[in-house]
Amino acid sequence: MAAVPPVCDFGWQAPDFSLPSLTGETLSYRQVAGPRGCVVAFICNHCPYVVAIARRLPEHVGALRDMGVGFVAINANDAKRYPQDSYENMGKFAQQFGFDFPYLYDESQAAAKSYGAVCTPDFFGFNAEGALQYRGRLDASRREPGPLDADRELVAAMQQIVETGRGPSQQNPSMGCSIKWKDA
């Protein structure tokens, strides 16, 4: 069943995190943020909505990096119930799709909860001051990749944020598989 996150809460401050990367180092929000902003994306390995955009992510991240915007992906799914989302499988997934950005493991799910993450993928775009300005989708992709000429909504929104400090007033929410929360 697909989940849809709420609309952007403009100005909400990015929570910090301290999570292990695939290289073994622990990274925080401040370490991954670029001088002009940051995108925090909650993804996983098995969701068809993530798989549909996985090949496009490195290109989009490259465009963000060229603008001075940092990017980090975080996997918070319960790997005991969904072993395909394990830390080990994250490395395989990242290699398969050529990820050249940090992919972090949120085993405790504390980061996902602090961000209010709802689905995979779920994109949070912050300005240089760490204020939320975008909560939307990468592009028109859903369970299948969108057309090759689809508007690069995340990249366009972050370009506007870099130039003005504010995100677009109209944003299309992401859609994806719900975060797989651990049983309480």
Question: All domains of the chain, ordered by start, with CATH?
Answer: 2-15+33-178 (3.40.30.10)
Segment 58-108, tens digit of pLDDT = 999 999 999 999 999 999 999 999 999 999 999 999 999 999 999 999 999
Instruction: Please give the Cα distance from 43 to 54 (Å, whole number).
Output: 10
What pTM did the predictor assign? 0.96
pLDDT for res 1: 54
Cβ neighbours, 10 Å, residue 59: 12
Segment 122-169, tens digit of pLDDT = 999 999 999 999 999 999 898 888 888 889 999 999 999 999 999 999
SS3 content of the chain, % helix, strand, coil (to 5): 30, 25, 50
Instruction: Name every residue whose Cβ is closer than 8 Å to that of residue 130 and which is 6 or more positions away in sequence.
Output: 13, 14, 29, 33, 38
